[in-house]
Structure formats: C-alpha cells, structure tokens
Homo-oligomer: A and B are copies of this chain.
Amino acid sequence: MTDFAATRAIFYIPEGLVYLDGNSLGPMPLAAAERVSRAVAQEWGEMLITGWNRAGWMAMPRRLGDRIGRLIGAEPGSVVLGDTLSIKLYQALASSLEMSPDRRVILSDTGNFPTDLYMAEGLMKTLGRGHELRLVAPEAVERHIAEDVAVLMLTEVDYRTGRLHDMARLTARAHAAGALVIWDLAHSAGALPVDVAGAGADFAVGCTYKFLNAGPGAPAFIYVAPRHAERARPALQGWLGHAAPFAFEPGYRPATGTERMRVGTPPVLQMAALEAALDIWEGVDMAALRARSIALSELFIAEVEARCPDLALASPRAPEARGSQVSFRFAEGYAAMQALIARGVIGDFRAPDIVRFGITPLYIGEDEIRRAAAILHHVMENRLWDDPALRARAAVT
C-alpha cells in the first residue's frame, strides 16, 4: 500500500499553494535538486568527457527507459528515452507507415494533442504519397477503424477533457482490421495503470515532465513492441541509434531493438532530474494511486458542482472513463483561472473554454481539493473573473 502522506514530503510545494497543474508540469522532487547539482559539479565538472562512461550517461536512455517501462507495462529493453514527444511520435508514425505500405490512412481523433497532428501532417507532406489524416470525434474512433487504416494514432487521455480511451479494446479492434496502433501516453504515464504489452500496443510515446515530475523540458520516451523492434526503421536515424556509434562508419546500421530510436546526444542534466523523479515511483502501487486519484477527483467534482452552478463538467462523469484530471467548461474560463491563480490555486486553461485541474495523489490530498473548491467558489460567486485586466493577460501556457 502506498503511503501518500510520505510521498507528499518528497516534493517541494511552495507554502500556501494548491498545485493542480501537475498534468502540465509536475513539481520538483526534493532529491532532484541534489541529483542535478551532482550531475553538474561531480559528473560534468570532475569527470568531463569521461562522464559518458564513468557516470553512465551513455547508458541512461536505456536504463531510465526500463524504469519508465515498468510504469507502463513494457517489456525490459523496449523503452528508450530521448528528444521530445513530438520527435518520438514522428519516429513511431514513420515506422508504422513504412510497415503498412499499402494503406494510406492515419486515423486519429479531434481530442488528440495538436503536436501529434502537426507532426503527422508534416510527415505526410514529406512522404508525398497521398496519405490522409482522418480525424473523427473521440467517441467515433472505434467505428471508423476500417481496412484502409494504416495506423491508429491516439492519445489515451484527452488533454482537455481527461476522457480516457480503452487502450486494450481499441488496439484489439485496430489489429483485427490489420492496422497498427500508436499510443501517446503524455497524460497516462504516472497518472494511471498502463499496460502497453498487455494491450498489444505497437508503439507508445510519452513525456516525463507531467505526472512523472522530471522537470521542465525533461526528455520523452518511446516504446516499440519487441515483435517490431528489429524491423522498425527510425526515420530519424542518428548516430546514437547506430549499431556501433563509435565505429564512425559512413553507412547506417540500426542498433538492436528499441535503442535504434535514439538519435543524438542525450540531455544529461535533464536525465539526472528524471532519475531522481523516478526513484519516487519505486514504492508506488499504481492501483492504489488510481483509486486515490478517483477518490480525489470525485470529491472535487462533488464540491464544485455543489457550489459553482456556472461550471459545467467537461470530463466524463464515470470515473473509469477519466484520466487523472478534472475539467470544467466556462465561457470566461480564462479570466476565472487567472483569478484562481492569483489566489494560490494553480490549474490551467485550454481554449476555448476549458479550465483544467490535474489530480496528483503523490502530493495532493483532500485538504487541497477542498481548499481549491472553496476558492473556486469564491471566484465564481463574486464574479472575480469579470475583470478586464485578467482577460487581457497574455495566455502562454
């Protein structure tokens, strides 16, 4: 059983803040500061170039990839770190399309995060072979899985509403139609139990700065199902994905397995923060985390719905159909969120009208949930959002 009072003490949360934006950027694990300082001073400073061997930097993308793999149900050796989610998605998609040369449709949904769609669009233009990105409503995905679909590309948890796709069911349906499946786990890894191997996913990608708490700009990861690993061609074939990078051969030979998806020099300082952040997960039972996330989410929905009639639940009402966030719709949501932030409750806003709250049991409990709901009620009841200065603030994140 996970002790959530203990995990909370592992994070630094500024005094008085209710932080409900861990689905965008997780807070700092206290050990991360020390671990990064060590990577800078003791590793880079003292070891210099020899750190690639002596401090194990070169092996980190695989070693930390395996630790993430355990959180998403991946086979050992099937996950590697690096780059950003956009880049890893591109590799997964390019590999998938190459493995399905006779099909031309990429099926996705309108709830997918835009960068996934933009990267797909860019790849299709580069390919110039008449691929189509077919976007349907999230609830219509299953019935649009057809024999012309090369790859089903979905984000498991919708970044706006928190709606959760049924990974196992959709993967099975896609496979039955002869399509491959790529899962974007940006809002899943560290948020809820994931079982990519059990679901039979072909590829998965994710980031580590949200629920995994690895810090701003932390590296992404990619999962390649072992059955594909020896034939997946990384479109972005960099030297660290070569079978023998330090032989400096003129021609490319892919490394064994998922390591071929490595591209260039990995971000050592960011990986150090990630390493500290992953230590926290060693003691976390994902089923217990999920149960706690649902309990806190239900409490938040009940509190808000009881007090704030102008906020309409945008997330699915059934807990099993949600990820680890709760969203509401409100036309003046942007200004309302600004008013909330000014009062020490941090969530965020997604156009056109969504206010989002991340539910992260590792460092959020009933007290924070009740406090957030009370302050939200105060903002709504007093129409504190009705302030031109708040509306005028530039939205950046």
Which of these binds chain B: A120-128, A221-229, A320-328, A381-389? A120-128
A residues whose Cβ falls under 8 Å from a Cβ of B: 12, 14, 17, 19, 21, 24-25, 27-28, 32-33, 36-37, 40-41, 43-46, 48-53, 57-58, 83-87, 90, 94, 110, 113-115, 117-119, 121-123, 125-129, 135, 207, 209, 215-220, 233-240, 242, 246-252, 263-271, 273, 341, 346, 348, 350-351, 394-397
A62 to chain B, nearest CB (A): 14
Give complex CA distance A308, B21 in Å.
62
* Contact call A36/B86, Cβ cutoff below 8 A: no
The answer, among B52, B90, B271, for a CB contact under 8 Å with A236, is B90
* Contact call B119/A236, Cβ cutoff below 8 A: yes
A198 to chain B, nearest CB (A): 28
Q: Kindly list chain B residues whose C-beta atoms are within 8 Å of the C-beta of A24.
A: 49
Q: Return the 9 tightest CB-CB contacts between A and B, nearest first.
A: A84-B264, A115-B239, A217-B267, A216-B268, A86-B238, A122-B237, A86-B264, A118-B252, A217-B268
* Contact call A33/B28, Cβ cutoff below 8 A: no
* Contact call B87/A216, Cβ cutoff below 8 A: no
* Contact call A37/B33, Cβ cutoff below 8 A: yes
CB-nearest residue of chain B relative to A112?
B250
CB-nearest residue of chain B relative to A238?
B86
* Contact call A263/B84, Cβ cutoff below 8 A: yes
Identical subunits present: 2
* Contact call A121/B36, Cβ cutoff below 8 A: no
* Contact call A33/B21, Cβ cutoff below 8 A: no
CB-nearest residue of chain B relative to A216?
B268
Give complex CA distance A216, B27 in Å.
24
* Contact call A248/B32, Cβ cutoff below 8 A: no
Q: Kindly list chain B residues whose C-beta atoms are within 8 Å of the C-beta of A216.
A: 43-44, 51-52, 57, 265, 268-269
* Contact call A41/B45, Cβ cutoff below 8 A: no
15 A-B residue contacts at CB 8 Å?
A25-B48, A28-B44, A49-B348, A84-B263, A85-B264, A87-B263, A110-B250, A114-B250, A117-B250, A118-B237, A127-B127, A215-B268, A246-B397, A248-B351, A269-B273
Give complex CA distance A348, B45 in Å.
18
The answer, among B86, B209, B263, for a CB contact under 8 Å with A86, is B263
Give complex CA distance A12, B42 in Å.
11
A22 to chain B, nearest CB (A): 9
A183 to chain B, nearest CB (A): 17
Q: Kindly list chain B residues whose C-beta atoms are within 8 Å of the C-beta of A125.
A: 233, 235
Q: Kindly list chain B residues whose C-beta atoms are within 8 Å of the C-beta of A251.
A: 117-118, 121
The answer, among B17, B48, B270, for a CB contact under 8 Å with A27, is B48
* Contact call A21/B49, Cβ cutoff below 8 A: yes
* Contact call A53/B248, Cβ cutoff below 8 A: no
Task: Assess A265 versus B209: contact at CB under 8 Å? Given A25-B49, A397-B58.
Answer: yes
Give complex CA distance A250, B112 in Å.
9
Q: Kindly list chain B residues whose C-beta atoms are within 8 Å of the C-beta of A119.
A: 236-238
CB-nearest residue of chain B relative to A17?
B48
Most buried by B among A234, A248, A273, A348: A248
Q: Kindly list chain B residues whose C-beta atoms are within 8 Å of the C-beta of A234.
A: 122
Q: Kindly list chain B residues whose C-beta atoms are within 8 Å of the C-beta of A239.
A: 86, 113-115, 118
* Contact call A397/B52, Cβ cutoff below 8 A: yes
Task: Assess A238 versus B118: contact at CB under 8 Å? Given A48-B27, A49-B25, A84-B263.
Answer: yes
